[in-house]
Structure 1
Amino acid sequence: MARLDRLDRIDLLRAAAMLWMTAFHFCFDLNFFGLLQANFYRDPFWTWQRVAIVSLFLFTAGLSQAVALHQGQTWARFWKRWWQVAGAALLVTASSFAMFPNSFVTFGVLHGIAVMLIIVRLTAGWGAWLWWLGAGAIALKFAAPLAMTDWPALEVLNATALNWLGLINRLPITEDYVPLAPWLAAMWWGMATGHWALRHRPQWLGARDAKSTGLRRGLVTLGQWSLLYYLLHQPVMLGLLWLATSFL
């Protein structure tokens, strides 16, 4: 099976999302240990950062899928990577249950990515419709609560088993929540952008396996190992903060 080449600017974009996420989570952890006073659930300063970070993650995932398909990625290779993401999502659920038993993660960013990757892969050939599908995913997010006002039967969509759709008018109690509506829009638009760039501006996506040095090389490497970093960064930061506060 031929190895797929990576384009360094996509990895750089993913690395930027990772670093921003790390800073965000570090502040969240400081708040958890009582070293910072902030409301990460209601303060727009924090909630809009989360929106931007998740959007960037999903957009780069869509870009990567466009490149993978362009390079002839097989379904076998796709499923190999998909199982890694799905397994990591289960680890997040288990670890969050240990730390937040009353608000553990049932459908967070990795769960969302796992489902969205399949949908985006199946719809990759829909061309310009991907832009409209993305707009539709966002519209559904706002239309569903309004529809529930006129059709109370739609309240069933608030059931925990259907939370992954995002068609709700009551947010579930969870530490991370990335449902299909509206977040699928970011990955669809990443896929559409990737298709357009590969046809018209391939240089914008970077060089294949570019031999970078120094800081750039480090950031590219971070982007390449984003899933492992995602799983490890919080336990490491929480452990270090626990040690620090224990000796204060």
Structure 2
Amino acid sequence: MKEHTKHIYKAVIVCASGMGTSTYLASKVEKEIANLQIDSILSLTELKDKINNRLIDQVIISTVSLPFLHPDNYILVSPFLSDDEINLIYNKLGSFAIKNEEVPKENTEPNTLSMVGSARYGEGMVQILRNLTVFELPASSANLKNVTELLSNTSIVVKPKQVLLDLDRREKQGTFVLDNLAMVHAKTSGVSELLLAVFHFNGSTIWDGFEIQSLLLLAAPVDAPKEHIEMISVISANLIEEPFLHVLLKGTEEEIKTEVESLLSNAFFTKVKALLKEPSTK
């Protein structure tokens, strides 16, 4: 393990949709394994495309089984990354021939693609803040059908039944509950914009066998650009931070909106700064 830490490894995180639980896992990995850098977060479809085009040269860490890969060619872990799974990653790093040394990026003038990407990040942030809603509900309302029906009153939920179907399909792949907060998420044709909703229940209730007090719901259009997915994924990535988790669990609507706006603003400036430093491809 000491030998492995001398090298910088780059990895991709894979989950069913490429948002939500995978971004939480990415935060955990980077926090616990200092020499493992997350290059990108991919859905199953995106991973298959990159493998078919031989564009993957990173360690693959997945929250779901990948039947199209040999088990030795990726690392399967839970989104919560237990101590045993951290040790598993350390032990498996030595079997991967890929070792990447970090190379500083050259500062250049921003190109057109950088400016377009910056605008998309900003658009994604605006959509999330505009569509953020907080509900106070009785504990008996804690199920996907009820919360989806509440969202059907918003203009961006164009197909409520499709939203319910896609959320339910994603939930069947694994439940995410962290300190009495459940998170559900999906890419769906049922919404026209990025959607963030928080549901507070007036007492503890059971969600798929887990005791919860609040529910976090994230949804994105199936054709949302990657910049939009990255922006909404900032929410799930920051669940690793106790203060943010506490605000989602106990905060007022105003407190939640203030905290989300702060997180998204910081992420926006970080992403735009990185974009503008990317060398031009001209």
- TM-score by structure 2 length? 0.26
Give the strand-richer structure, 1 or 2.
2
- TM-score by structure 1 length? 0.29
Give the helix-richer structure, 1 or 2.
1
Higher RCO, Cα 8 Å, sep 6+: 1
